[in-house]
Amino acid sequence: MPLHIDLDRLKASPATIWEVFLEVEQTLAGLPLLSETLRQTDGQRTAALQKRAALLGVATMHPESLLLLTRLFRDEGLEMADYLSERHAATLDASEKQALLPAGVHVQKTVTLLLDGKLLLVTSIGDGELGRKERIALLKRLGLSRETPHHFRFNPPNIVPESDLGQLRGIVNPFIQPDRDIVLGALVHLPWPEAWAAEEVAVSISPCESVRVPLQSYWSILSRYIAEILPDLDLIELKAT
């Protein structure tokens, strides 16, 4: 039976997300491991991913996204199936997920931001924050004056991840669903330490699954992904200062 999410109930009682997570865990238990699915032939893989999506809906990364990522991994000389995590307990926030990750693997955190009425996605590796320096750099990249006040509102209540981004809360990431009918002003990526160059970032595929992306290939994969699905979206990389 397909996963059902009552968005009105979830909005009125956010704690009910854990009931959704339990249903996701139960559904995944009846499906093959994603690593096995990605190793199938093209036709079998596509059919299996579509079946998975029919059951999990927004609780899994979209099949087109998974197929595109698989191809982009291969372009980097990597097999995505080799970088999938084992299924783990469902997590809601970045700190919970980070606690489950091995050393050298950093959680990816993505939030929505309403800046002067324009919707942005802000993402980081590790628990990054859009502090004063980053805000100044962002205003400059967007061509906005520092001399006038600007309104930053994170996670605005009128943006619903499930219906607007096609992603269940807790797994929001910059690899958004192709053909999503949402107007984004930019995708903003915060800097990460150069010392992490040989390490990895964990991107959520479902509340219980992640893919580890080597940081040496991460920016190439992300920028090419965005170029294919949202070629007009401004991808802003804020540099470390």
pLDDT tens column, 169-186: 999 999 998 877 788 999
> What is the pLDDT, as a whole number, of residue 148?
86
CATH of 94-237, one of 3.90.960, 1.25.40, 3.10.450, 3.30.70: 3.90.960
Kindly report whether the global pTM for this prediction surpasses the value 0.85. Answer: yes
Helices 42-56 and 17-29, packing angle to 10 deg: 150
Would you state the structure tokens that stand for residue 18, as one six-digit string?
Answer: 């854990």
Nearest CA among 173, 185, 188, 175 for reference residue 236: 188
> What is the pLDDT, as a whole number, of residue 161?
92
Write down the domain spans for the chain.
7-83, 94-237
115-144, pLDDT tens digit by residue? 998 999 999 999 888 888 999 999 999 999
Kindly state the helix (H) or strand (E) to which residue 152 belongs, with its residue range.
strand 152-154
* Neighbour tally for 67: CB within 10 Å: 17
> Which 3 state secondary structure label does DSSP give 8?
helix
Q: Are the C-beta atoms of 188 and 115 separated by less than 8 Å?
A: no
